[in-house]
Amino acid sequence: MKIGLFYGSSTGNTEMDGKIIKDKFDEYTPGLVEMFDIAKVEVEAMLPYDHLIIGCPTWNIGQIQDDWDAKFEQLDRLDLTGKRVGIYAPGDPVGYPDNYCDAMGLVGHKLEERGAELVGFTDASDYQFDHSLAVEDGVFLGLPLDDDNEPGMTDERIADWVAQLIVDFGIDELVAA
């Protein structure tokens, strides 16, 4: 069982959050998660992993972060059938309340098109924002973070999400062993 974490990060928040996620998994099972900057690898690097964690912030008012944007069409080369994918997404609901974490929705739907099953949903009522492409039926399709306005919440949100992912990935028996 291996989990690949692929992130894109323009100013470092998504990279930092990815390290917190990896460290959390390491507390359960050291080495379970391997982490990559999507700017430095081919999209095919995702294929050997059983399940994936994707980190993608929103930039430029509702747009996917640049490194993901550059690889977005290449995702069409992948067959992700059978893989479960948790998406985490730093954003800014104060500065961009009408586009909070839109990239989570854009990337998430693309990965679903490629056969992946999204997991790790989060209740949207815990967040203050007006609109997001990442919300369906009152839940975010992954984990929204806000390192700009609520950095003190990030550790706890990630700890809760990792515990949820362990169940959603179906590896709770593995990490308990």
Ligand X SMILES: Cc1cc2nc3c(=O)[nH]c(=O)nc-3n(C[C@H](O)[C@H](O)[C@H](O)COP(=O)(O)O)c2cc1C
Site residues for ligand X per CB under 6 A: 9-14, 57-62, 65, 90-92, 96, 99-102, 147-148
Query: Which residue sits closest to ligand X, CB atoms considered?
Result: 91
Rounded least distance, CB 41 to ligand X, Å: 17
Nearer to ligand X, 147 or 168 (CB): 147
CA 59 to CA 32: how far, in whole Å? 30
- The b/e string for 44-58 (b: 16+ C-beta within 10 A; e otherwise) is eebeebebbbbbbbb
Nearer to ligand X, 86 or 90 (CB): 90
Rounded least distance, CB 48 to ligand X, Å: 25
Rounded least distance, CB 170 to ligand X, Å: 29
Nearer to ligand X, 38 or 166 (CB): 38
52 phi/psi in degrees, rounded to 5: -130, 150
Rounded least distance, CB 161 to ligand X, Å: 16
Nearer to ligand X, 29 or 63 (CB): 63
Max Cα–Cα distance, the chain, nearest Å: 44
Alpha helices in 32-101 (DSSP H): 66-71
β 3-7/135-136 pair status: unpaired
CA 80 to CA 51: how far, in whole Å? 9
- The b/e string for 137-167 (b: 16+ C-beta within 10 A; e otherwise) is eeebbbbbbbbeeeeeebeebbeebbebbbe
Rounded least distance, CB 52 to ligand X, Å: 18
- Token output for 14: 């998504």
Nearer to ligand X, 58 or 122 (CB): 58
